[in-house]
Amino acid sequence: MPGTAPSTARLRTRPLAPARVARRPARPDAAAPIVKWAGGKSRLLDAITARRPPSFRRYFEPFVGGGAVFFRLAPHHAVLSDLNADLIATYRAVAWNVEAVIRRLRTHRDRHCEDYYYATRERWNERTGPQSDVDRAAMFIYLNKTCYNGLWRVNRSGRFNVPIGSYKAPAICDAPGLRAASRLLQRAELATRSYDYVVDAAGRGDFVYFDPPYQPVSATANFTSYTSACFGEDDQRELARVARLLVRKGCAVMLSNSDTPLIRSLYDGFRVDRVTCNRAINSRADGRGAVAEVLITGGY
């Protein structure tokens, strides 16, 4: 319930301490994200995995995005969701029709040039001609891999509007990587829905990781256009309320967010660790580079 303090038996507080995280090389056969995504957690994976619960029953990630944490943890049972329906549809196609997706991506790779990029972007937005789920998934991956800075951005009408990137040899079709991702995605339930479903879906022994749109650190820092939806201060407060409810249900909860006074106050009583991360995807060049974030844990 709003305003109710969490049980101190479940939540521990630790003073904020800066931490720089060295990246650990993944196993050669490990699955990895198949799309670039704003706010992706590839550069924080070691910090996140070091703070995960020692064991858990099911893994929930309601803001899955690029799925870096999911792919690193490789859970046996996962529930993944996102409000971006095209992203979730792409994951479904890769899970169950990966060879067909690979064949279409090879065609995109062989035809790639500036004119082809913009023709494909127009086809994506206008949905011209017959387009199967596999066709859409391959276009989604192709556009994501070749657009400017890997930034998937849509306008208020839901149209993808990013120009072509200046890549000499974009990795359009990583067949081994797609097959590895497919095997892992087959273990997951995939859905397009808001994060708050986890209040009813998750239970004792489950691990829930929230990676929401971050609280802006300045008036110009807000970026929510990967779904054309907004996530404001009221949403941050509601998410904190949901996190406390889950802890009281016996779930292990982890969240990532920007290091701001509001976020610290919302998670008073949780363990809050400050980490430094280099951001590679941002629509503004001055928005890339080292930024301070927090990893928040409770219930374990």
Q: What is the pLDDT of residues 229-279, one digit of tens each?
A: 678 999 999 999 999 999 999 999 999 999 999 999 999 999 999 998 776
Strands 289-298 and 188-191 turn out to be unpaired
* Mean pLDDT computed over every residue of the chain: 87
Q: Are residues 197 and 269 in the same domain?
A: yes
Q: Which residue has the tokens 């928040």?
A: 296
Residue 249 lies in a domain: yes
End-to-end CA distance of the chain: 20
Q: Are residues 204 and 71 in the same domain?
A: yes
Distances (CA, A) of 285 to 100, 203, 267: 36, 42, 31
- SS3 of 157-210: CCCECCCECCCCCCCCCCHHHHHHHHHHHCCEEEECCCHHHHHHHCCCCCEEEE
Separation CA 232–CA 215 (nearest Å): 7
pTM assigned to the model: 0.85
- The CATH number of the domain holding residue 226 is 3.40.50.150
Q: Are residues 131 and 197 in the same domain?
A: no
Q: How many CB atoms lie within 10 A of CB 103?
A: 14
Residue 187 lies in a domain: no
Contact 224, 230 (CB under 8 A): yes
Model confidence at 112, pLDDT cuts 50, 70, 90, reads very high
How many independent structural domains does the chain possess? 2
Torsion of CA 264, 267, 271, 272, to 10 degrees: -30
- Residue range 169-184, pLDDT digits in tens: 999 999 999 999 999 9
Q: Are residues 99 and 167 in the same domain?
A: yes
Residue 256 lies in a domain: yes
- Residue range 28-64, pLDDT digits in tens: 568 999 999 988 898 899 999 999 999 999 999 999 9
Longest dimension (CA), the chain: 60
Using the predicted structure, report yes or no on whether residue 2 has a pLDDT greater than 90.
no
- Residue range 196-233, pLDDT digits in tens: 999 999 999 999 999 999 998 876 555 444 444 678 99
Q: How many CB atoms lie within 10 A of CB 234?
A: 8
Domain, as residue range, for 167:
89-178
Starting at the edge strand that comes first in sequence, how are the strands of the sheet with 207-210 ordered? 188-191, 78-81, 59-61, 207-210, 252-258, 289-298, 271-279
Residue 10 lies in a domain: no
Residue 156 lies in a domain: yes
Residue 37 lies in a domain: no
Q: Are residues 196 and 167 in the same domain?
A: no
Domain boundary among 129, 146, 178: 178
Residue 172 lies in a domain: yes
Separation CA 220–CA 22 (nearest Å): 29
